[in-house]
Structure 1
């Protein structure tokens, strides 16, 4: 889930870390986090988050946003996974991941004049789906704004499956993984909600269909934060018209107008086509959820148009 930030976006040069030995990376992270905890009082905390969904283009949007002069991302990773997997580490640990306010001010320079202080952000595709993450965010970051990305849930499920297969989280065929999903996820939400130290590999990595029921997760976010604090982006629209979609995001966040030199398409995973019988099965399954989503969005989702 996590990845290094590009240079100039609140982090150091990711290229050097990519070739460093594992023990050097571990030592560097430990030193950075220790220093970060000691200086946590002078560090930024996020004013907005990309909370998901998984495999919906969040990395591409994250990189475009942290390139903005007044936006700072985590020092080490795209996402901290604090509100889902590391909440027991406490707020000082969380703040240790973000740049010092003084550093962010220097980077912003004259861009921050008239737009207030620099803003920090992070991105985590699991926050939208984990049953405790959104309530924790609402409690700990009052006034925070959320960005939610959605994508054709059929393509999202296929992409998540191929991603899990490549990383060793999945060993079954796609058809079998879909059959096993209800059994794998049975009782996991309840256990996550009742045992705050519990982590579920099945819930995190095998929810191919469940994560695509966007309306359920989006409505939970709206109920907690208010519709005015939740901005929804359809991935198809973002990649077709990145500049206008990006400008809408800046307007939502109250950031000065600015465009990166280019918009990348990161973490895309090329793969063979999905079997057509499975696609038809999923299209029928997701239809009622997409119809409910259309009511929340105020228009038909891009993949149904």
Structure 2
């Protein structure tokens, strides 16, 4: 027997135990948005003594690209119940945008608490493009990528709905503009969940007043309020948005009706319209 096969044979029982070990059913999900601070929120929540973090660090991507792995695999991603722990959950920012995720979540976890963190959409789109470029998923400059976005993703949502096992590379990595259509995505959430189950956060507020925003999170999840130290290391880095002024203004105008539509939805109460959008941003950890 080769060394590789021998190692695989020895590890098989361990893998089997891990995959079959049933954990707590998630009570909260951070569903979006990409580059909107979801990683930081997930990290902060995991520090609460009444929270059991997901075994897969930030999240499982079960309800979007890993749905075929099955419910038992999903539950094995969470810790079993222990004394003092009240809730577990995860963060997968593609959930908010994926065409099938919210329907799947509603069917499997109808009582779950959802958290949505929204960032000014121009800054979000720019940060998303930077991230995909750094990860090797994008080779076009920002202006060209958003100009070709419609062509790149045309028909991809229909393919996902037709074949739930289909994973669209373009839909996941190249939807810089469409992911900023927050109103459309939040409206879909509200078709399946009551507004009381959804906490909508303004990403910028989270970084300027993390303790205040976390107080809202603790209340939303029914947890004892706690004060977390060291949150300053997650504050904005203020990397410059190197967007030509004309393009920046055009994108701000593009998102204006979307922002106005968002502001009218339950649980929002904020907008980026009528404010001078700073040409600086922060990275989503």
CA offset digits 1:222-278 (Å, max 9, x no partner)? 111111101100001111111011001111111101121122428969355222121
Q: Is the 8 A contact 1:159 1:269 kept in 2?
A: no
- 2:114 paired with 1:146: yes
CA offset digits 1:175-218 (Å, max 9, x no partner)? 10011100011011111011011000100000000000000001
Residue in structure 2 matched with residue 38 of structure 1 by the alignment: 20
Partner of 2:165, secondary structure, is: coil
Give the structure-2-normalised TM-score: 0.87
Q: Residue 246 of structure 2: which of 269, 277, 288 is its match?
A: 277
Matches within 5 A, 1:211-250: 211-250=179-218
Residue in structure 2 matched with residue 19 of structure 1 by the alignment: none
Matches within 5 A, 1:58-69: 58-69=38-49
Residue in structure 1 matched with residue 269 of structure 2 by the alignment: 299
Q: Is the 8 A contact 2:115 2:201 kept in 1?
A: yes
Report the Cα distance in structure 1 between the residues aligned to 2:153 and 2:133, rounded to whole angstroms. Answer: 18
- Note closer, same or farther for the CA distance 1:140–1:292 as it changes in structure 2 (3 Å cut): same
Partner of 1:202, secondary structure, is: helix
Report the Cα distance in structure 2 between the residues aligned to 1:52 and 1:128, rounded to whole angstroms. Answer: 5
Pairwise CA RMSD of aligned residues?
Answer: 2.2
Report the Cα distance in structure 1 between the residues aligned to 2:14 and 2:196, rounded to whole angstroms. Answer: 36
The 10-residue stretch of structure 1 (166-175 or 93-102) with the greater mean CA deviation from structure 2: 93-102
Structure 1 residue 30 displacement after superposition: 8.0
- Note closer, same or farther for the CA distance 1:298–1:139 as it changes in structure 2 (3 Å cut): closer
Q: Which has the higher helix share?
A: 1
Aligned residues: 265
Give the structure-1-normalised TM-score: 0.82
- Residue ranges of structure 1 left out of the alignment (5+ in a row): 1-25, 106-111
Report the Cα distance in structure 1 between the residues aligned to 2:115 and 2:208, rounded to whole angstroms. Answer: 18
